[in-house]
A and B are shown apart, each in its own frame.
Chain A
Amino acid sequence: MISRRDFLQASMAASAIVGASGFGNWGRLAAQQSLSQSDLLQFDTFGNVSLIHITDIHAQLKPIWFREPEINLGVGSNKGHVPHITGADFRKLYGIADGSASHYALSYDDFAALGQAYGQMGGMDRVATVVNSIRAERPDALLLDGGDTWHGSYTCYHTEGQDVVNIMNLLKPDAMTFHWEFTLGSDRVRDIVNNLPFAALGQNIFDAEWDEPAEDFAPYKFFERGGVKIAVIGQAFPYMPIANPGWMFPEYSFGIRDQRMQEMVDEVRAQGAELVVCLSHNGFDVDKKMAERVTGIDVILSGHTHDALPEPVLVGETIIVASGSNGKFVSRVDLDMRDGRMMGFRHKLIPIFSDVIAPDADVAAAIDAERAPFLDDLTEVIGKTADDTLLYRRGNFNGSWDDLICEALIEERDADISLSPGVRWGPSIMPGQDITREDIWNVTSMTYPNAYRTEMTGEFIHTIMEDVADNLFNTDPYYQQGGDMVRVGGMGYRIDVSKPIGERISDLTLLRTGEAIDPSKTYVVAGWASVNEGTEGPPIWDVVENHIRNKGTVSVAPNTSVTVAGA
């Protein structure tokens, strides 16, 4: 008899070779540039359970441009493994033809040119069409939202998340977990969660005072689908009070808590769960490590690090599915559950090409209704990009969007050096495109936006850089918080990602003068997104809007101020 492990490996191999995952077919079709909705949705329904995963939408209800990272370095045992493979290497690994739709959707190069051919991606009305199509084939498919949903846009900020909540409710998710949602403040989160028509899960959300599981969030929920008893266990972002302002949700404590994850898996198994799914906002490398340490999870639906992988990654007997961000992708996973075991799976990362997939009319109307009260503000044109400038953010060290934000901070706030957080959300802007107020908010919207101006010694700047670098390049994934390196304006540096904390960052240089940063000298630093309560300064979106308005047409030269070694 074939063991489950053999079956999974055989299934993985088959999917890589003949496209049983659906991905191979997609690649071939894309090479012919013959995209159609039925091709994108084509899936031979398999087994008896379907999971639909979407994550890290960041309030992007409308289609967007979103360039994937050029630089996404892995360290330690994750060096050279997905998701730390980009560009041509990524395409080679998955057999993606150059110039194909999947090249455009999943890798970074030639983004502006390919974007003209393949159009924008995402849009919750298109996602609704995909979800409805899957439910037409498998009516009891589970829709699971990995979080970072109620954050990241002008309308989301002004409605405190309500616009996204209303739209997502139309899609009828079955469960959700959380990260940026908590930056709405814990009162507002509880307001929404208490009225959610689906499960709000997080086995690692604790009461900070008593260090006991928080009452407002269940660790798991049972579903009976296709005659299979399914337990979905939630895993919220582990480092919420460290990476985001803890003072906004002081009642809660998080952490990875993989020992409790094991207890929850054992508990649901003892209650008869045949299929155990973890809906996770750990980030991909953390999920891989957790899958090594916790036994009995069949599927981890992975969010937070915004990776889009055409095939699941197998760790032991657990498959890990990564579904991208910003509404660009939806993952469908069909499972063959028999005799209380997962006997096989079929998977497809469905790209949401917004010009190919028809919007669901009801959801499209609802999105427009949410936007209507704000439409004049949203659509006001502030400036435009030059024909040589693509604005993007994703990548470990700098993106042109952040270079522009850093430039705005230095010029508008009269600073020597500027710092911008290494977040992974924020859509791209094509060359020669109008920049609207909505576009600016899409890369800046948050509930702690104040652009501070302060003085720091060279030594302290170095300390910050080392600390953030260790959150990204610590060789133990459990010590990684999942963002990218802090973006720096006005200062160059060298980083050796293979070194330990304290030894990675060197050659700090003030670009204005070309002089080395003096540890004992004081510099004026402007930045935003401080996690500290009471930070003062204008909101970052005003700073950026003023800057773009003054410039009219913005051009961002390639950033050569960061030298990377040890990769």
Chain B
Amino acid sequence: MKLTRRHTLMLAAGSAVAALLPMRAAAAAEEAIAAFTGGADVGSEGITLTAPEIAENGNTVPISVSAPGAEAIIIIAAGNPEPGVATFNFGPLAAAQAGSTRIRLAGTQDVVAIARMPDGSFVQASREVKVTIGGCGG
């Protein structure tokens, strides 16, 4: 009997195997961030990014972000071939400046959220999300 590679030990997702090493912000991600911030300094207070430490399924990773008072928030998957995930724009009548979505991650990488505040300043939060082949529990 011969099993296909798909059936082998601890191989949860083909995409996970392709890239085990953490993928840090690539040039495309830096470009996307620069386009949003215009190169301005970015703070870290007043924004909360929630993401799993280890993705249960790299094809659909739930994330949520909240930045009270923000005008806009962008989400970047720094290690994806196309790093731009979403841009949330909040009008003056928005009750809360928060959003959530699910994203596909090509491998272990940083997910970054940046908010533009009404005074033109920017704040950023980042979380490393690990995409693993897993399979050996205690």
Contact = CB atoms under 8 A, between A and B. Distances in A.
Given A256-B53, A454-B3, A454-B5, A242 B138 contact: no
Query: In terms of DSSP, what is the predominant structure of the interface of chain B?
Result: loop
Interface in B121-138: 130, 132-138
Nearest to A423: B138
Given A239-B54, A467-B132, A532-B12, A481 B138 contact: yes
Given A463-B17, A501-B21, A529 B9 contact: yes
B62 interface: yes
Given A455-B2, A467-B20, A502-B21, A255 B135 contact: no
Contacts of B10: 464, 467-468, 486, 530-531
B7 A452 contact: yes
A482 B138 contact: yes
Interface in A458-484: 460, 463-464, 466-468, 470-471, 476, 478-479, 481-484
Nearest to A468: B136
Interface in B6-31: 6-12, 17, 20-22
A257 to B, nearest CB: 9
A476 B130 CA distance: 12
Contact of B3 (A253, A468, A470, A536): A536
Interface residues of A, number: 62
Contacts of A126: none
Q: How large is the interface on B (under 10, 10 to 19, 20 to 34, 35 or more residues)?
A: 20 to 34
A530 B136 contact: no
Nearest to B55: A242
B52 interface: yes
Nearest to A260: B50
A535 interface: yes
Contacts of A255: 52-54, 56
Contacts of B62: 211, 253
Contacts of A424: 138
Given A254-B56, A419-B9, A478-B53, A536 B135 contact: no
A525 interface: yes
Contacts of B54: 239, 242, 255, 479, 481
A211 B12 CA distance: 21
Nearest to A502: B21
B136 A421 contact: yes
B3 A243 contact: no
B1 interface: yes
A242 B135 CA distance: 6
Nearest to A148: B138
A478 B129 CA distance: 11
A26 interface: no
Given A242-B56, A501-B22, A453 B137 contact: no
A255 B130 CA distance: 12
Nearest to A211: B62
Nearest to A422: B136
Interface of B: 1-12, 17, 20-22, 50, 52-54, 56-57, 62, 100, 108, 130, 132-138
Pairs of residues from A and B, 3 with the lowest C-beta to C-beta distance, nearest first: A243-B137, A242-B134, A483-B138
7 contacts: A242-B132, A306-B138, A423-B138, A452-B3, A467-B10, A481-B137, A535-B3
